[in-house]
């Protein structure tokens, strides 16, 4: 995906991410059913961070999708397998 957006767009995205406020203190205010979905091979948002997010949201459900990375369903290699893995993991 980064190759598709180009280097300059990627740099702007990273600068925006680094300058945004930390949202973790607000997680406790979420009062609706919440699914935290992460691939077990996700590098930008690894499972440890997803666990932290899920722990901050009362009653949330954490699903770790095996053999999947960040946006796996949107990558060329994962386009067909990613969506199926995610659906199977949520149903489990």
Separation CA 14–CA 31 (nearest Å): 30
> CA-CA distance, 9 to 69, in Å (whole number)?
21
Q: What is the pLDDT of residues 7-66, one digit of tens each?
A: 899 889 889 988 989 999 999 999 999 999 888 888 888 999 999 999 999 999 998 888
Total of domains in the chain: 1
Res 72: pLDDT: 63
Classify burial at 77, counting beta carbons within 10 Å of its beta carbon; exposed 0-12, middle 13-18, buried 19 or more.
exposed
Specify if 5 maps to a domain.
no
Checking if the pLDDT of 73 tops 90, the result is no
Residue 11 placed within a domain: no
Burial class (CB in 10 A: 0-12, 13-18, 19+), 2: exposed
Contact between residue 38 and residue 64 where contact means Cβ atoms under 8 Å apart: yes
**Residue 77: its pLDDT value, please?**
54
Residue 14 belongs to some domain of the structure: no
In which domain, by residue range, is 60 found? Answer: 24-91
User: What pLDDT sits at residue 13?
Assistant: 86
What pTM was estimated for this model as a whole? 0.70
């Amino acid at each position: 995906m980064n190759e598709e957006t180009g280097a300059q767009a990627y740099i702007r995205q990273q600068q925006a991410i680094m300058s945004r406020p930390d949202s973790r203190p607000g997680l406790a205010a979420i009062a609706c059913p919440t699914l935290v979905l992460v691939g077990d091979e996700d590098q930008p948002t690894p499972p440890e961070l997803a666990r932290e997010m899920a722990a901050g949201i009362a009653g949330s459900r954490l699903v770790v999708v095996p053999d999947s990375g960040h946006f796996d369903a949107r990558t060329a290699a994962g386009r067909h397998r990613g969506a199926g893995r995610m659906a199977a993991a949520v149903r489990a």
